[in-house]
Structure 1
Amino acid sequence: MAKRVPTTPQHLLAARRRKARHYALQALYQWQIAGQGLNDIEAQFLTDYDMTNVDVEFFHDLVHNIPAQVAELQERFEKHLDRGIDELDPIELSLLRMGSYELLRRIDVPYKVAINETVNLAKRFGATDGYRYINGVLDKVAMECRAVEVAAEKRA
């Protein structure tokens, strides 16, 4: 018997955003490593990848606003690192920026979702146990910038 996949609007949006995060991570990595312009990177992704089931607005938001706020984002998570930013793997750095951005700027995304989605990307693209490190750092960022939401979740 075939597994039934939920098709509610919330599930579809979650799936579209998951793909947007996947592509955004790749785009941010490209920006970080190659220094290519964000508009060029975005145009390349929109042209070269099947964006049919991608939340393109969310992708655009991540790709343009994370680099625009990179100093503030890094300031939020840097104090929770056990090493310097320059010692982070480029994928880990991109993921910490992305996770911190969602925690700080995308209050429409529950903090647990922001962390879990980032951790899942770390499992897929990061170093062997990098996802544990990402999870620990983003948990601390969430406790600072989403304290009310975190406290409410713990009481529930």
Structure 2
Amino acid sequence: MTEPQSSKPPRQSRTGVTSTGARKASAKSNRSRAREFALQALYQHLVGRNDATAIDHFTRDLAGFHKADAAHYDALLHGSIEHAGDLDALILPLLDRKMEEISPIEHAAMWIGVYEFQNCLDVPWRVVINECVELTKEFGGTDGHKYVNAVLNGLAPKLRATEVEADRAKGKAK
């Protein structure tokens, strides 16, 4: 007796992605790695209220940190913590709930996104959003990435007006 054949086509292999959809470590850029470490560090800050210097020392000792863009990590971690009030002031009007009800992963990803919008002008706005959405997919709850996407898409026209408008004119953005 033979096994019944599946009616589904064989799964397409995607380079740079594991079977669960997460990005493979080898496919990540140094900046993507920096964002991952910054997200983890910001999570520690948001949940444990740990000191930025202590978090920084701990994070730099983690496996794989040597493959991250350390300067970008520094900027994201220290810049987000230093400007947390300003970042939250931009994020809060776009939320449909209190900041305390936002998952720390989503909160950290939004901090990274807003910080990069304001301070990393060499990173295109759509890349900022995509990276933050991917971080939230990888580390956050089931639909957290949709929330991060909505908030950052709402802030992009305000924080990167010229760039967003240029993309709209080319038909690349809504």
| SS in structure 2 of the partner of residue 108 of structure 1 | coil
Aligned with residue 44 of structure 2, among 5, 30, 34: 30
Residue 24 of structure 2 aligns with which residue?
A: none
User: Alpha-carbon deviations, 1:20-79, whole Å to 9, x = none?
Assistant: 000110000011111221111111121233222210010111111101000100111111
Runs of 4+ in 1 over 6 A off after TM superposition: none
Residue 60 of structure 1 aligns with which residue?
A: 74
The letter of the residue matching 2:154 is K
Structure 2: stretches of 5+ with no match in the other structure: 1-13, 17-27
Aligned with residue 154 of structure 2, among 135, 140, 146: 140
Confirm or deny that 1:70 pairs with 2:78: no
TM-score, scaled to structure 1 = 0.88
Residue 58 of structure 2 aligns with which residue?
A: 44
The letter of the residue matching 1:128 is T
Question: Radius of gyration: which is bigger?
Answer: 2
Residue 111 of structure 1 aligns with which residue?
A: 125
Distance change (3 Å), C-alpha of 1:127 and 1:112: same
The letter of the residue matching 2:61 is T
Deviation at 1:92, TM superposition (A): 1.0
TM-score, scaled to structure 2 = 0.79
Over the matched positions of the two proteins, sequence identity in percent amounts to: 34
Return the structure number with greater helix share: 1
Aligned with residue 33 of structure 2, among 19, 42, 45: 19
Counterparts of 2:159 and 2:97, CA distance in 1: 22
Distance change (3 Å), C-alpha of 1:4 and 1:134: closer
Counterparts of 1:60 and 1:83, CA distance in 2: 30
Confirm or deny that 1:124 pairs with 2:141: no
